[in-house]
């Protein structure tokens, strides 16, 4: 069979859920279905399959960037607008790109909350709409709506900015190549990525929040998983209601803690093919945590991006935009982030978590217990701020790799 390795084996570490195979199959033989954990996987209809091999060619998990070095231009970046920085996860680099694309009459694809606060990719034609994509949503986004309209936009000659996780960007751009869609006007921007948690757990979490933390009659207006209300470093989950907000009340029961505990993460994230300086996008953006080593001359306390400019096309655009931001070239070493080198480590008890979670009625109790994280996660949470302050963040991360990660996804 010439199908991709996931379709041949059913091995979940081999599918990142980007949907590219199901969108590319010329015979409509691949359908995406959610499993019991809330992650979608392709299902092959053998009667329709003609073994053409397109699903293998398009699959981003058939690539492996890990261990392949590259020399992107590396910067610390902070948007010139204080308001934009306040409303963004880090330094507002996404908005810098989005504003230029919108000013050219272009289109932005990014990740937003829907009306029920599910997480999905959306399309924006104005900056007001694109503002919904600001701030990281620490949940797997449903990218199904992007494929068709993105092709239409590009075929109409529009400038487009596509954002998402590196595996999503890789899946979509490989799809465009196979469909022979011109990408001269497409700019891509991926995130440095820790991995994506299950949308099912996010939905369950919101139901618990609604029943246990919100008074009857009150309503969620907005959710910010990267609120800077207290500080940038805190990465606070804030939920704004019609009557007040409950950021402080849910501090001990924050989905963000569950995100960093890794128990709800998609299996393929532990075997990520994109944890390297070689990237599938023109730009890569992340948080700049390694501040002590970088000697940055502007104020970084409200948030600053680590930016990798990976392609000549990206370089040309960044030259036009950099005057609208505080920009400092930094070394690749200063820009270092764990997930530019290795994937998150799967918690030893992840399967036990899922078993307990699916069997219990009391999901709040299980989430509270597991969001504390494994002993290693708890140590990392405590040490990270100290390591960032002392400039030992990169060194500690490399040591962690030697002890815990090894070469598993190279
Ligand atoms: C799941 C996830 C894991 C991350 N892990 C890391 C990490 O380990 N290290 C690190 O330095 N940075 C990580 N980031 C990136 C970081 O949180 C910021 O998104 C990034 O620094 C951009 O900041 P900004 O101020 O420029 O963007 P903002 O203005 O906040 O824009 C957010 C950008 O992220 C995109 N986005 C939001 N939610 C999702 C999602 N669920 N899936 C895909 N794209 C999304 C939006 O479309 C937009 O492009 C992660 C982001 C996500 C979504």
Domains by residue range for the chain, with CATH: 5-62 (3.30.70.3270), 66-410 (no CATH)
Structure confidence by residue, pLDDT tens digits, 215-241: 999 999 999 999 999 999 899 999 999
For the chain, what percent of residues have pLDDT higher than 90? Answer: 87
Distance 216 CA to ligand 1 centre (A): 33
Is residue 86 predicted with pLDDT exceeding 70?
Answer: yes
- How far is Cα 227 from Cα 136, in angstroms, rounded to an integer? 10
Q: What pLDDT does 25 receive?
A: 98
- Ligand 1: lining residues by beta carbon, under 6 Å: 88-95, 110-111, 119, 133-139, 141, 163-165, 191-194, 196, 285-287, 305, 337, 339
Distance 193 CA to ligand 1 centre (A): 7
Pairwise pLDDT comparison (407 vs 359), residue with the higher score: 359
Distance 135 CA to ligand 1 centre (A): 7
Structure confidence by residue, pLDDT tens digits, 135-152: 999 999 999 999 999 999
Residues 6+ apart with CB under 8 A from 7: 1, 21, 30, 42, 44, 55
Is residue 176 predicted with pLDDT exceeding 90?
Answer: yes
- Testing ligand 1's pocket by substitution, the residue of 81, 89, 139 carrying the most ligand atoms inside 8 A of its CB is 89
- Testing ligand 1's pocket by substitution, the residue of 79, 191, 266, 306 carrying the most ligand atoms inside 8 A of its CB is 191
Closest residue by CA, ligand 1 atom 27: 94
Answer whether 253's CB lies under 8 Å from 364's CB. Answer: yes
Please classify residue 323 by burial: count the beta carbons closer than 10 Å to its beta carbon, then call 0-12 exposed, 13-18 middle and 19+ buried: exposed
Q: What pLDDT does 410 receive?
A: 47
- Residue 39 CA, chain-centre distance (Å), reads 15
What average pLDDT score do residues 103-128 get? 98
User: What does the mean pLDDT of the chain come to?
Assistant: 95
The total number of residues shown for the chain amounts to 410
Answer whether 126's CB lies under 8 Å from 71's CB. Answer: no
Distance 329 CA to ligand 1 centre (A): 21
For the chain, what percent of residues have pLDDT higher than 70? Answer: 99
Q: What pLDDT does 294 receive?
A: 85
Distance 84 CA to ligand 1 centre (A): 15
Structure confidence by residue, pLDDT tens digits, 346-357: 999 999 999 999
Distance 49 CA to ligand 1 centre (A): 36
Q: Which two tokens stand for residue 315?
A: 């370089």
- Residue 24 CA, chain-centre distance (Å), reads 23
Sheet containing strand 236-241, strands side by side? 220-227, 236-241, 244-245
């Amino acid at each position: 069979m010439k199908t991709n390795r996931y379709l041949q084996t059913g091995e979940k570490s081999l599918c990142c859920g980007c949907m590219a195979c199901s969108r590319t199959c010329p015979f409509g033989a691949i359908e995406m279905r959610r499993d019991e954990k809330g992650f979608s996987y392709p299902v092959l209809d053998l009667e329709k399959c003609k073994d053409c091999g397109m699903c293998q060619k398009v699959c981003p998990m058939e690539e492996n960037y890990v261990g392949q070095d590259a020399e992107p231009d590396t910067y610390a970046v902070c948007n010139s607008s204080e308001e934009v920085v306040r409303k963004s996860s880090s330094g507002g680099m996404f908005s810098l790109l989005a504003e230029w694309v919108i000013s050219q009459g272009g289109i932005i694809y990014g990740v937003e909350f829907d009306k029920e606060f599910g997480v999905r990719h959306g399309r924006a034609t104005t900056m007001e709409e694109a503002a919904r994509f600001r701030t990281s949503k620490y949940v797997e986004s449903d990218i199904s709506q992007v494929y068709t309209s993105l092709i239409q936009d590009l075929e109409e000659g529009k400038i487009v900015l596509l954002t998402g996780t590196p595996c999503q960007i890789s899946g979509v751009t490989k799809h465009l190549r196979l469909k022979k869609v011109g990408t001269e006007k497409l700019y891509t921007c991926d995130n440095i990525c820790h991995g994506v948690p299950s949308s099912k757990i996010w939905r369950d979490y919101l139901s618990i929040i609604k029943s246990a933390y919100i008074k009857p009659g009150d309503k969620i207006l907005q959710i910010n998983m990267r609120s800077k209300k207290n500080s940038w470093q805190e990465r606070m989950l804030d939920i704004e209601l019609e009557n007040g907000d409950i950021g402080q009340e849910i501090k001990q029961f924050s989905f963000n803690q569950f995100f960093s505990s890794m128990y709800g993460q998609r299996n393929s994230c532990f075997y990520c093919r994109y944890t390297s300086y070689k990237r599938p996008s023109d730009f890569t953006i992340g948080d700049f945590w390694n501040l002590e080593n970088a000697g940055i001359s502007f104020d970084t306390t409200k948030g600053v991006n680590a930016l990798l400019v990976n392609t000549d096309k990206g370089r040309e655009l960044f030259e036009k935009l950099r005057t609208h931001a505080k920009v400092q070239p930094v070394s690749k070493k200063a820009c270092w982030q764990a997930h530019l080198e290795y994937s998150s480590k799967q918690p030893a008890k992840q399967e036990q978590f899922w078993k307990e979670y699916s069997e219990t009625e009391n999901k709040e109790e299980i989430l509270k217990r597991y969001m504390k994280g494994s002993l290693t996660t708890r140590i990392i949470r405590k040490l990270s701020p100290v390591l960032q302050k002392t400039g030992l963040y990169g060194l500690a991360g490399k040591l962690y790799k030697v002890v815990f990660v090894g070469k598993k996804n190279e």
